[in-house]
Amino acid sequence: MKKRFKPKFNIKKGDNVVVIAGDDKDRNQPRKVLSVNPTEGRVLIEGVNLVTKHLKPNAQNPQGGIVKEEAPINISNVMLWDAKAKAPGRVKRDRTETGFVRIFKKSGEAIK
């Protein structure tokens, strides 16, 4: 991604999204966004792209072991979940006096 201008994405932490591409593709099950990294264009989603990490023993975990945790996926592989339409939806941004509001194009419902 270009470093000169900060990219703007319509997905924010805490939103419900569906994965539309990749191994965890499921257009009917909304999942929660745990974090967004706009400079890299990646998002961390609950229960998606699970990877196995091997932990060495340390003070908090004296036994060590193998842990499964989420890894980030590309932001282009997710779409916001429209609860009113019960489907993934495209988003537009409308300017108000206080700032910008995200609105689903099909249902016209504002996001939070």
Across the chain, what does the average pLDDT equal?
Answer: 94
pLDDT for position 6: 80
Angle value at C-alpha 83, between 78 and 84, nearest 5 degrees: 130
Q: Is 54 within a domain?
A: no
Q: Is 33 within a domain?
A: yes
- Tens digit of each residue's pLDDT (9 = 90 or more) over 40-69: 999 999 999 999 999 999 999 899 999 999
Q: Is 112 within a domain?
A: no
Q: Is 90 within a domain?
A: yes
Neighbouring CB atoms inside 10 A of 103's CB total 16
- Tens digit of each residue's pLDDT (9 = 90 or more) over 66-112: 999 999 999 999 999 999 999 999 999 999 999 999 999 999 999 97
Q: Is 52 within a domain?
A: no
Q: Is 5 within a domain?
A: no
Structural domain total, the chain = 1
Length of the chain equals: 112
- For the entire predicted model, the pTM comes to 0.85
Tell me the backbone φ, ψ of residue 72, rounded to 5 degrees: -70, 150
Q: Is 58 within a domain?
A: no
pLDDT for position 66: 95
Tell me the backbone φ, ψ of residue 74, rounded to 5 degrees: -70, 140
Domain range for 89 is 16-46+73-104
CA separation for the pair 52, 65 (Å, rounded): 10
Q: Is 32 within a domain?
A: yes
